Amino acid sequence: MGYEKRYDGRKFDELRPMSARIGVVPNSSGSAIFQMGKTVAIAAVYAPKLLFPQFLQDDEKGVLRCEYNLMSFSGSGERVRPGPSRRSKEISMVTEKALLPVLNLKEYSNCAVDVYIELIQTDAGTRCAGICAASLALADAGIPMNDLISAVAIGRIENKIALDVTKKEEDYENGMADIAIAYSLRLNKITLLQSDGDLGRDELQDAIKLAKIGCEKIRDVQIKALKAKFEVIKDE
């Protein structure tokens, strides 16, 4: 018996309900909240700041620093140990690399652009929600960028490829593989591709195709969130 029907009744190519808003942290240069089902990420950007220690400074461009953190109450029951862990350090690093290709930090020479991503509630797909939120926060902070980044998690559950998996699906007993993909749709570039579990070549290709469809929908939500704050100007 295979995995025929998803636990929450969605279609296999259907995303969870999303919402996004910018300007949620007034003290920061730019911020955003991005929600995907039960996964909620808040990102705040602080820039430009002088970068110390000085040997890290780059005379030609700014340095992007991301920090990904799960809040201690964010999981379902068990308390997440606060502070950096091996996992969160790795995700901070891949987030940085996922965002860098679209950023132009020439203006911020010798400076740091700090991005803090906090997950206040998690239900799988946290790094993807974090990247979506961070991309919005960077746009809100007025950092020059070529494109927005959208990200989504794909799962292979037995013989089915499913878009935007939940925690329950991620914990599926046998035949589960999950892939996190971040896309720059205008440049048609994949900026993040991580996979966990056994996966065939064809399955991976199918997953990437599905991710592109998902990212297009996520991008629409992101664009709407960015424009929502200034909608009224057009009427003037």
Partner 1 sequence: MAGRLLIEDKEVVIPGQELAEGMDYLPGGNIIREGEKLISVKLGLVNVSNRLLKVIPLVGGYSPKKGDMVIGRISSISSMGWRVNFGWAYDAGLSVRDCFDRFIEKDEDLTKYYNYGDYIITLITNIMGNKIIDISMKGTGLRKLGPGRILKICPAKVPRVIGKQGSMIQMIKEYTNCRLLVGQNGFIWLSGNNIEDELLAIKVIKKIEDESHISGLTDRIKEYLEGEVGIKNGL
We find the least distance from the C-beta atom of residue 229 to partner 1, in angstroms, to be 7
Nearer to partner 1, 112 or 207 (CB): 112
Contacting partner 1 (CB under 8 A), which of 140, 164, 169, 178? Answer: 140
Stretch that binds partner 1, among 140-148, 152-160, 169-177, 199-207 (CB under 8 A): 140-148
Q: Does 99 bind partner 1 (CB under 8 A)?
A: no
| Residues in 36-75 at the binding interface with partner 1, rule: CB under 8 A | 47-50
236 binds partner 1 (CB under 8 A): yes
Nearer to partner 1, 202 or 231 (CB): 231
**Spatial contact of 54 and 141, defined as CB atoms under 8 Å apart:** no
Distance (Å, rounded) from C-alpha 32 to C-alpha 129? 11
C-alpha torsion 181→98→131→87, nearest 10: 80
Among 34, 68, 108, 183, binds partner 1 (CB under 8 A): 108
Task: Quote the CA–CA distance of 225 and 31 in Å, as a whole number.
Answer: 12
Per CB under 8 A, 109 contacts partner 1: yes
For residue 123, the minimal CB distance to partner 1 (Å) is 28
What is the C-alpha to C-alpha distance for residues 209 and 219, in angstroms, rounded to an integer?
16
Nearer to partner 1, 15 or 113 (CB): 113
Residues 6+ apart with CB under 8 A from 120: 40, 41, 42, 71, 73, 74
Give me the least distance between CB of 135 and partner 1, in Å please. 9
Q: Which amino acid is at 173?
A: E
* Closer by beta carbon to partner 1, 1 or else 232: 232
Nearer to partner 1 (CB atom), residue 1 or residue 50 = 50
For position 114 contacting partner 1 by CB under 8 A, the verdict is: no
Instruction: Read off the amino acid at residue 139.
Output: A
DSSP state of 103: B
Helices assigned H by DSSP within the chain = 86-99, 126-140, 167-170, 201-228
Give the number of other Cβ atoms within 10 Å of residue 167's Cβ. 17
Distance CA 229, CA 17 (A): 20
Task: Examine residue 191 and tell whether it contacts partner 1 (CB under 8 A).
Answer: no
Chosen residue from 38, 75, 101, 110 binding partner 1 by CB under 8 A: 110
Binding residues for partner 1, per CB under 8 A? 29-30, 47-50, 102, 104, 107-111, 139-148, 186, 223, 226-227, 229-236
